[in-house]
Amino acid sequence: MTPTPLHLSRGGTSVVLEPHPLGLPVLAYWGADLGPVDGGELEAIATAQHSQRVSGGIDIPARLTLVPLESAGWQGTPGLVGDRAGTHLYPRFTVTSTSVHDDGATAVVEARDDDAGLGLTATLHLTHSGLFTQRLTLTNTGDDEYEVRSLALFFPLHPTAVEILDTTGRHLRERSPQRHALTAGTYARTSRRGRPGADATVLLAAGAPGFGFERGTVQGVHLAWSGNQQVLAEKTPAGAAFLAASEVLAPGEVVLAPGQSYSTPVAVGSWGDGLNELSARFHRDLRSRDTHPRRPRPVTLNTWEAVYFSMDLERLKALADRAASLGVERFVLDDGWFHGRRDDTSSLGDWYVDGTVWPEGLSPIIDHVRALGMEFGLWFEPEMVNPDSDLARAHPEWILQPEGRLPLPGRQQQVLDLGNPDAYAYILGRLDAILSEYEIAYVKWDHNRDLLEAADARTGRAAVHRHVQALYALLDELRRRHPGLEIESCASGGARVDLGILQRTDRIWTSDCIDPIERLVNQKYTGLVVPPELMGMHVGGPVSHSTGRAHTLPFRAATAIFGHYGIEWDISDLSEAEYSVLGRYVGLHTSWRGDLHRGTVVHADLVDPAMDLRGIVSADRRRALFGYSLTASSASYPPGPLTFPGLAADAQYLVDLAVPEEGHPGNGQSPLAWLQAALDGAPLRLSGRALARAGVQAPVLLPEQTLLIELRQED
């Protein structure tokens, strides 16, 4: 009897797997929930997808299977590339078992090819939020070595998918969006930087023509891996369209001895009617984790742009005093505290408190900070080493390098080989010692260099895969030894933003650029995967250190309000007016953060590209906070209406200002009716449906200005 297709269903998502006579099951469907379907309808759904045999083609039309292979007629990007010294290039797997678990939300497919000496396990899972995750494990069941060159995970696309969205970038400008037509052929985004990189896309998405945040069927894939990787979109001449993701492996990097296995990173797929729904699945899933931060995210002051390498105790105490008085809850001492570190050219790796700068150790500043009621955090860059350091001089063999020479330097530093047990033990020991000696609640874990020529100095073999595994083990062990420790993942800003690192850390530093104009774009597209409470958003100084642009304090403070709020600015000598404004925004954030960090993130699709409207709607949809920004001069004067997505359609909302002291912003020549009503204490009452469809007239703002709008149901 022919096996019945398999239907996984959960969280509004369905996946259909169809048995295939030539091996692994076909990915027949992934997308919106198909509802309750019986075996007969499942067979009909699968049958309806069968292709005709055509002239010039093979006799059995190729299908997109879990691991598409040439042995089943597949001539697109292959699912598995590997060999035994140049032989056994074309495996054909036979399914030996298929089991379903978790109330129909998880499937495990076991398969073998005894001729090739390979075993395969595919684990497919639908999370409660409707994310579709896949992982493959390949086992060498033969008698000699098998090299894995590539093992990819595939996700079928909806027939309406004709347009691709991804992001690119650089240091100080990560996650800039770009769009392309999905045409025949392959569009691939590949990272060989040893980390995803500032230019990496956090998501590769494809969808209906012109899909936006509010509407349009769209599907996207993310690879939860902190090393070399590739995501691609492909359309075959036969019309099959799919997304795929894989770790990028160097020659000889994964060679399986008999009995050994290689497991891919987890690939995560999400879909939605618009990017708001797609990203909400990621956010809900991350928030359901046991390790997800549960307590309110502390307002943080980081000292980097405030003092740089100046480790003057009295100056730092004054900064801490001012921070505490504003409502800051965590004080983080950045680079410059350890042995010999006076600038960024030396001493990485020498993780001992500098006795010339801190003759009494770090206790004086930590005790001062804690006496003010704040937590203390400390900066490390554990994976890096300066050649000008005691560590590098003592152990040059601990540096990742090809035979006979060091790679080109980056920021005057090289990379430690965490896969070397001795280097791993040293770094673990030094961090553990400092965390054990002092009351440190938070570590800012930096990573300021791409990996070049990352090879084991002892063997010459490629080492990125092993390095990332060792990094994960190091983070896991530190957290085991120090329960409650929170860790921020920073990598030249946002060069390592992925769900692999976020499984072991409590937030990412979204970008080293705190210019609010740049951050509006960066935070919007980072948020496709990362929820706001895991995204560091700080208020910088009056003039951006990275762009040189000057912005008003309300604009800088409002742009950061929706994430994990913080300050990156020397606030010790603020004027009374600046102190009052900053304190008001810190207070606004703390009063809203329960909803900001648990609610639904929404972005409005406005016609004018100069207009940006984003917000967070509380979980019960009783209130919402929106930020309307004018990022440049608008083509319309006055601008058009603002429409607010994500609200309860039938509920009545009062349309108010979150910061009434701002009054009528911008350069309008007369009061705006709804805004004046809010200032008069009689805000307009509109239904969620009216706000989403008719909206309210946008105020005439000056370019680079933000207005925070509060929508709330009456008690």
Residue 551, classed as helix, strand or coil, is coil
Mean pLDDT of 205-231: 98
- pLDDT category at 57 given cuts 50, 70, 90 is confident
Hey, what amino acid is at 186? T
pLDDT confidence of residue 542: 97
> Does 238 have pLDDT greater than 70?
yes
pLDDT confidence of residue 532: 98
CA proximity to 206, closest of 195, 194, 219, 196: 219
- pLDDT category at 1 given cuts 50, 70, 90 is very low
- pLDDT category at 706 given cuts 50, 70, 90 is very high
Mean pLDDT of 41-53: 89
> Does 3 have pLDDT greater than 90?
no
Q: Quick one: CA dihedral 290, 503, 176, 536, positive or negative?
A: positive
Chain Cα centroid distance, residue 542: 28
Pair of tokens at residue 277? 């729904």
pLDDT tens digits, 64-76? 999 999 999 999 9
Its pTM stands at 0.97
- What's the CATH number for 58-287? 2.70.98.60
Chain Cα centroid distance, residue 640: 33
Kindly give the residue spans of alpha helices, DSSP state H, lying in 539-616.
Answer: 553-559, 576-596
47-56, 129-138, 396-405, 511-520: which has the minimum mean pLDDT?
A: 47-56
Hey, what amino acid is at 397? E
- pLDDT category at 665 given cuts 50, 70, 90 is confident
The alpha carbon torsion through 240, 246, 248, 251 (nearest 10 deg) reads -80
Residue 356, classed as helix, strand or coil, is coil
What is the full DSSP assignment across 470-492? HHHHHHHHHHHHSTT-EEEE-BT
> Does 664 have pLDDT greater than 80?
no
Sequence spans of domains, the chain = 58-287, 300-592, 604-712
The conformational region for residue 175 under phi > 0 = left, psi -120 to 50 = alpha, else beta, is: left
**Element holding 368 (H helix, E strand):** helix 363-371
Residue 420, classed as helix, strand or coil, is coil
Pair of tokens at residue 456? 């084991």
Q: What is the 3-state secondary structure (H, E, C) of 93-159?
A: CEEEEEEEEHHHCEEEEEEEECCCCEEEEEEEEECCCCCEEEEEEEEECCCCCEEEEEECEEEECCC
Distance CA 219, CA 291 (A): 27
Maximal C-alpha separation, the chain: 83
pLDDT confidence of residue 2: 61
- pLDDT category at 714 given cuts 50, 70, 90 is confident
Pair of tokens at residue 323? 């921070």
Distance CA 617, CA 355 (A): 50
Positions marked active-site: 446, 512
Hey, what amino acid is at 22? L
pLDDT confidence of residue 67: 98
pLDDT tens digits, 588-628? 999 999 999 999 999 999 999 999 999 999 999 999 999 99
- Give the domain 604-712 fold: Immunoglobulin-like (2.60.40)
Is domain 300-592 given the CATH code 3.20.20.70 in the classification?
Answer: yes
- In the chain, % of residues over pLDDT 70: 99
**First-to-last CA distance in the chain?**
61
pLDDT tens digits, 257-277? 999 999 999 999 999 999 999
pLDDT confidence of residue 258: 98
Distance CA 409, CA 403 (A): 16
Average pLDDT score, the chain: 96
Mean pLDDT of 219-239: 96
pLDDT confidence of residue 239: 86
Mean pLDDT of 674-689: 96
